[in-house]
Amino acid sequence: MNTIDRNASIAVIGAGSVGIAVAYYLVTQHKATNVVLVDPRDPMSLTSAQSGENYRNWWPHPVMTAFTDHSIDLMEAIDRESGGMLNMTRGGYALVTRRDKPQDLIDDLYRGYGAGSAQIRIRESASCDYEPPLRAPWQSAPAGVDVLLNRDLIRATFPYYASDVGAVIHVRRAGSISAQQLGQYMLTRIRAEGARVVRAEVKGISGSSPFRLEVATAEGTSSLHADVVVNAAGPYLQDIGAMLGEEIPVKHIYQQKISFQDREHAIDRKMPFTIDLDEQRLTWSVEDAALLASDPQTRRLVGPMQGSIHCRPDGPVDGNWIKLGWAYNKDASDPHGEDPLDPHFPDTVLRGASNLHPKLAAYIGRLPRGARHYGGYYTMTDENWPLIGKMKTPGAFIAGALSGYGSMAACSTGALCAAWVFGQEVPQYAMQLTMDRYQDDVLKAELAKLGGGCL
Ligand SMILES: Cc1cc2nc3c(=O)[nH]c(=O)nc-3n(C[C@H](O)[C@H](O)[C@H](O)COP(=O)(O)OP(=O)(O)OC[C@H]3O[C@@H](n4cnc5c(N)ncnc54)[C@H](O)[C@@H]3O)c2cc1C
């Protein structure tokens, strides 16, 4: 056993988007010294490498809207100061339904944005001054939300959608970022401020502040002493929690995507990130339907399928890659096991997506060579809100459970967690992202009504 003891003021466990952002705000905002980021993997190589790299400020509750608005503010500041390293685009999110005037969705918008926090513009006439989707720099993109209820306006703006679309909700503060570039930028700044990135796995934690972390490196096992530990271990948050004798209320749901070169030009390069909100039944041949129905693993594919299939052009306007995802899996699994990659997923998502994007049907059963099918864990609480703040153990903090929104929310998570470590004031909304929310029965009842869910 290697007995080289090392000391740190703060050990951040996990160098994904979240741990890196915590370390970044610790050193840049609070001038923390002797910070160590510990991870046995390459930084940003686990869940953070699987991200679709989309962002939006659209949520069913104002707390999450405030949380992501804060993060987008911070990302825009970094994009500005780094000379555009984040490659931020802001074409918005287009939420599409076949229904006319979906009042429940419009009510959800008002509830999610809270009083006056976003301009919601209802567009009922074909001749309104609605600005069509843009891939222009985020600085010149509009804010607020446009709700398009006129079928002629929809047809003229989105001629590539299926012709039965009845309403489009266009969320404008939304688009794509390069989360990998954001992580690289932060790592460079972290190192420049003197923090260390150590390739090691935390195997055990003993004592109380200062903690003794048992860490496994390529050379053997050694100890690291730290006054503060931050649990940013992504899908392994519970392992670190257990080392501190605490239970972390999260589950792990594997979600998948495909990406490929769109040689058939099925997707318009200027299309915003588009979500088909409508439930649907997939079309199968009689034989396929019987086969799928006979297996408990695949039976759900022949029943009603939830909405929320998403699709977007990937990379530059003159490129030809596209990405598709559908977070229909609801079954939790163990992130220590084999990744439960579903071989039916590419076919399923293409069948579902071709309802709204008819030309995608050309790829069903014929994905182009070089296509990628990949996935990762949404580590999430039942209500799908993150955990950011103090753990029960004095000196221990948590930044995690960022489900399918950890790339877009890494910056606010990092800034909040760093403020908690330094005992500094946090914005009002952040109080409800701590573990203390489980003591608030009124909030718990409100969140139970909203029902979690993920994109
Ligand atoms: C398919 C998919 C699509 C997604 N799309 C989007 C999107 O479009 N937009 C968006 O905002 N988000 C998206 N997300 C979510 C986002 O990717 C995650 O929320 C985010 O990457 C989580 O980051 P993390 O740092 O918490 O976890 P991770 O990236 O998993 O990092 C955790 C790190 O902790 C380390 N670790 C664990 N245990 C230990 C230990 N004992 N000792 C030391 N280190 C340890 C691991 O090695 C790992 O590197 C998507 C996720 C998936 C799976």
Lowest mean pLDDT: which of 22-26, 205-209, 272-276, 402-406?
Answer: 205-209
Q: Which pLDDT band, with edges at 50, 70 and 90, does 1 fall under?
A: very low
Range 93-174+252-380 classified under CATH 3.30.70.260? no
pLDDT at 340 over 90: yes
174 CB-near residues (< 8 Å, 6+ apart) = 54, 55, 56, 57, 58, 90, 91, 92, 93, 272, 273
Ligand 1 pocket, CB under 6 A = 13-19, 38-41, 46-48, 50-55, 201-202, 232-236, 239, 255, 257, 375-378, 400, 402-408
What Rg, from alpha-carbon coordinates, does the chain have?
23
Q: How far apart are CA 25 and CA 424, in angstroms?
A: 13
What are the backbone angles phi and psi of residue 252, rounded to the nearest 5°?
Answer: -130, 120
| Mean of pLDDT values over 234-242 | 98
Alpha carbon distance 269, 272 (integer Å):
8
**φ, ψ (nearest 5 deg) of residue 415:** -65, -40
pTM: 0.96
Token reading at 314: 């990937």
Q: Which of 126-135, 225-234, 282-291 is least confident?
A: 126-135
**284 Cα to the center of ligand 1, angstroms:** 35
pLDDT digits (tens, 9 = 90+) for 149-160: 999 999 999 999
Give the domain ranges of the chain. 5-53+179-249+382-450, 93-174+252-380
Task: Quote the mean pLDDT of the chain.
Answer: 94
CATH superfamily of 5-53+179-249+382-450: FAD/NAD(P)-binding domain (3.50.50.60)
Say if 5-53+179-249+382-450 and 93-174+252-380 have the same CATH topology: no
Nearest residue to 61 (alpha-carbon basis) of 133, 115, 124, 111: 111
Reported as a single tens digit per residue, the pLDDT across 294-306 is 999 889 899 999 9
Task: Name which of 226-235, 409-418, 443-452 the model is least confident about.
Answer: 443-452
Confidence at residue 455, expressed as pLDDT on a 0 to 100 scale? 61
At 405, the pLDDT band (50, 70, 90 cuts) reads very high
Confidence band for 4, pLDDT divided at 50, 70 and 90: very low
Neighbouring CB atoms inside 10 A of 310's CB total: 22
Average pLDDT in the 420-434 region?
97
Q: Are 248 and 310 in contact (CB under 8 A)?
A: no
For ligand 1, mutation pick of 44, 51, 236 (most atoms within 8 Å of CB): 51
Q: Which atom of ligand 1 is nearest to the CA of 408?
A: 11
pLDDT band at residue 26 under the 50/70/90 scheme? very high
Residue nearest (by alpha carbon) to ligand 1 atom 21: 48
